[in-house]
Structure 1
Amino acid sequence: MNRPVPPLRPDGHGAPPPGGLDDVRLLADWYATGRPATLADHLERHGPPPVTAAGGGPPSVPLVEAVEAAGLTGRGGAGFPTARKLRAVAGRRRRAVVVVNAMESEPASRKDQFLLAVAPHLVLDGAVLAASAVGADTVHVCLPRDRPAQYRRMDAALDERRRARLDRVRLLAHALPHAYVSSESTALVHWLNGGPARPQGGPPGNRERGVDRRPTLVSNAETLAHLALIARHGPGWFRRLGTGDEPGTLLVTVAGAVADPGVLEAASGTPLATLLGRAGGPTEPLGAVLLGGFAGTWLRAEHLHTPLTRRDLAPLGAAPGAGVLVALPRSACALTETARLLGYLAAQSARQCGPCRLGLPAVAEDFTALATGRADQVLLSRLRHRTALLPDRGACRHPDGAARLAGSALDAFAEDVGHHLAHGPCPAARRPPRIPVPPATPPETWR
């Protein structure tokens, strides 16, 4: 991949995806019209949010029960059951707050950026419905500071809703520092409370004491868009696509060595190879794919038949993660690519706990030595030992993701590791990088 993934699909006209529209829900308006949906477009297609149509009272079917029956899980990466998050906040005594996490700090992902560009009111409907379900009077929409055009579009969408007097809660947009860990839920809350956008470890959690010390629901933008559709169409409709254990659709950013990179919507359980095919197919023979983003898992090409579900990917040590699928050709050096990703993850840590201050740089340095042919006799054993020390020790899950990436590379590319250790770097290690890595954002700027 020699250039960043475009925020919209390259056709730019909303042409139907390969295979038709059978599994398109969140992006249906885009494919139907070829333009971002205004509030008038949105209301014409979907009608007002059910809570508004009911005169400000609860939806005819209690939302939390509908979401639970639908089996909706978070689309931000963790896959936590959405109904459980709603109940945890709704059960508190104080007035709650809702935070829309649209930061999308995973560098390889464009799904939330795409969704907010073409269907912002679907996300905002979901946020308003979630606010009604948990008893919130304020919704904070968190966007990255370095995408001013995205912020202006969101501000315009919020203005449309205010002029239409559509919502009975306050909706506010915020532009936050765009660092890798600034999208972590406690980092968002800490920034909204006046601090830097750094993760905060330890109790109490956001659900007990978040923004303004009030119970706070933090939810990914895509998750809220699904919630808005479930509220309108019901859990049975949502379950018509996907698998029994993991129903519904999800947005996936397909990038790398494919002819038509971009954002796709697909039913859960779609094989990885099918997703690559819908992105135009590989442009050259593939050696592996990176699933889940920079903190994801490398999978060899022989695993491309695997369905995109947590259940099917678990035996491979993988998960859908942030909904990213990067195709790496055989002509690239996977160890060199991994070393660059680890260097970025080390530079993007909050530097407030041992695994981030010491462990991540050490792992990144060892992996760079392996990739560039500067390995000593004990490097591999030292690298595996250091990688094993990272998980479950940090103030957030940032070290866990880096450990997952490093460990999967050592396993998936064991033959390459042996060659680099015995003979030095392969010829592919000297070729231009295939996965773009953005500049790191220093922690001192996260305010």
Structure 2
Amino acid sequence: MTSATITGFRLPPAPDAPRLLAGWYATGRPASLSDHLRHYGPSPVSRTIGTRAAMPLPDALETAGLTGRGGAGFPTARKLRTVADGRRRAVVVVNAMESEPASRKDEFLLAVAPHLVLGGAVLAALAVGADTVHVCLPRTRSAQYQQLSAALAERRRARVDAVRLRLHGLPHTYVSSESTSLVRWLDGGPARPRGGPPRIEERGIDRRPTLLHNAETLAHVALVARYGPAWFRQAGTTEEPGTALLTVSGAVGVPGVLEVPLGTPLTTVLDLAGGPTEPLQAVLTGGFAGAWLGAARLHTPLSRRDLAPLGASPGAGVLVALPHSACGLAETARILAYLAAHSARQCGPCHFGLPAVAADFAALAAGRADRVLLDRLRRRTALLPDRGACRHPDGAARLAASALDAFADDVTRHLDDGACPAAHRPPRLAVPPATPPETWR
């Protein structure tokens, strides 16, 4: 099996010191359980965390500075401690839904190193006192479902796990990967965000404390448990240590999944992906709920600290390079239409606000807008954040606002002269059809 059959991308050349993808670069094939044990050794459950001194897993993760790689960047150790302190037996969930259309990192990681992810989930379960790990995949990925089923069967035959692992196939919508969506579905409801307190760490599945992490985060947990916090901190920055997986696409020579240290300049990441194939006008950071950064900002390091002042973040680990030959407004309009169609329709900002913003942006991209519409679009965009039952409207608003800033010259031209020629060219971003989900169950 090659990377192309797994992700639709080619894998760029190996970085200097791959971590999560080390086994893949060493063998060029997905790791079986025997491959995994040969490369990493047995699980550190019964021995010391790290190589120098005994340390409980939450303490090791706190010292390592590991944060979630699913988008929010929440401290991993803090989640573990909250769940472990609950009064009822905990539950662990592996979020492998990866509903972000521009991302393939978790899908790729699970395809080539499934036992690194599953082993990290088991370690987390033991640390919080859980007896069950739920692994959640989109049911549309039937091949990966079969592959993970085989991996779980390997683990059962080898008796390597002290907890039960269960695999689930869920509806694949944009918001079905939201943490409360997974909890709600596993409790027998629709895969829609629940919204509001309590947090799932306090009351999640079956009202039990629930630890939910995405696949990449749990793979990092497995490595910290084996090699210790000091090893983890050898990559990245002091404030944001470690590596991260990125899906790099668009106008680059080798689109694919990369593992890079946090703090790597965006230009370096693009060069690792084969470099730009055309002059770039912007890069989409973080995914469809992320932000556009103009070409002048591409020397910014890939870190939350450096991207935050620009209204951006690493988000779901996505970089999409947009060339000058494309229309950023038209590309953004298509993304906003998709986000509006995939809202949960449970609150006003999703049910009314997102379609209104998407319609206004489509008019701007098509050259059918005036200053009144632009003012209305800015006003509507500013009203969306912090008002929804989940963070879905916030991401759409961030994307729209960043596009109006990054493509400000195009906005003026579209208002004064109508749509630019690039707006009528074939799309450059792979955006799924803007059709509402067929089912939430």
Normalising by the smaller structure, the TM-score range is over 0.9
Aligned length, in residue pairs: 434
Task: Determine if contact 1:75/1:220 at 8 Å carries over to the other structure.
Answer: yes
Task: Determine if contact 1:6/1:261 at 8 Å carries over to the other structure.
Answer: no
* Residue aligning to 1:255: 249
* Residue aligning to 1:409: 403
When residues 414 and 316 of structure 1 are mapped into structure 2, their CA distance, relative to the original with a 3 A threshold, is: same
* Residue aligning to 1:290: 284
| SS of corresponding position for 2:376 | helix
* Residue aligning to 1:278: 272
* Residue aligning to 1:355: 349
Q: Distance in 1 between matches of 2:282 and 2:119?
A: 38
C-alpha deviation, 1:377, in angstroms: 3.6
* Residue aligning to 2:88: 94
Percent identity of paired positions between Structure 1 and Structure 2: 74
Task: Determine if contact 1:5/1:262 at 8 Å carries over to the other structure.
Answer: no
Q: For structure 2, list consecutive stretches of 5 or more residues without a partner in the other structure.
A: none
Normalising to structure 1: TM-score of the pair? 0.95
C-alpha deviation, 1:373, in angstroms: 1.1
* Residue aligning to 1:79: 73
* Residue aligning to 2:321: 327
* Residue aligning to 2:144: 150
| SS of corresponding position for 2:236 | coil
* Residue aligning to 2:301: 307
When residues 157 and 8 of structure 1 are mapped into structure 2, their CA distance, relative to the original with a 3 A threshold, is: farther
C-alpha deviation, 1:372, in angstroms: 0.3
When residues 6 and 273 of structure 1 are mapped into structure 2, their CA distance, relative to the original with a 3 A threshold, is: farther
* Residue aligning to 1:239: 233
Is the counterpart of residue 162 in structure 1 residue 192 in structure 2?
Answer: no
When residues 440 and 210 of structure 1 are mapped into structure 2, their CA distance, relative to the original with a 3 A threshold, is: farther
| SS of corresponding position for 2:7 | coil
Task: Determine if contact 1:253/1:262 at 8 Å carries over to the other structure.
Answer: yes
1:348-395 CA-to-partner distances (Å, cap 9, x unmatched) read 000000000000000000000000011134011100000000000001
Task: For 2:16, give the aligned amino acid.
Answer: L
* Residue aligning to 2:165: 171
C-alpha deviation, 1:442, in angstroms: 3.1
* Residue aligning to 1:7: 7
1:40-62 CA-to-partner distances (Å, cap 9, x unmatched) read 000011112111558xxxx9420
Root-mean-square deviation (CA, aligned residues, Å) is 1.5
| SS of corresponding position for 2:241 | coil
C-alpha deviation, 1:422, in angstroms: 0.6
* Residue aligning to 2:97: 103
Q: For structure 1, list consecutive stretches of 5 or more residues without a partner in the other structure.
A: none
Name the stretch that deviates more: 250-259 or 43-52. 43-52
Q: Distance in 1 between matches of 2:341 and 2:289?
A: 14
Task: Determine if contact 1:52/1:166 at 8 Å carries over to the other structure.
Answer: no
Q: Distance in 2 between matches of 1:171 and 1:52?
A: 19
Task: For 1:194, give the aligned amino acid.
Answer: G
Name the stretch that deviates more: 174-183 or 372-381. 372-381
C-alpha deviation, 1:243, in angstroms: 0.2
Task: Determine if contact 1:142/1:173 at 8 Å carries over to the other structure.
Answer: yes
Task: Determine if contact 2:338/2:435 at 8 Å carries over to the other structure.
Answer: no
When residues 142 and 52 of structure 1 are mapped into structure 2, their CA distance, relative to the original with a 3 A threshold, is: farther
* Residue aligning to 1:446: 440
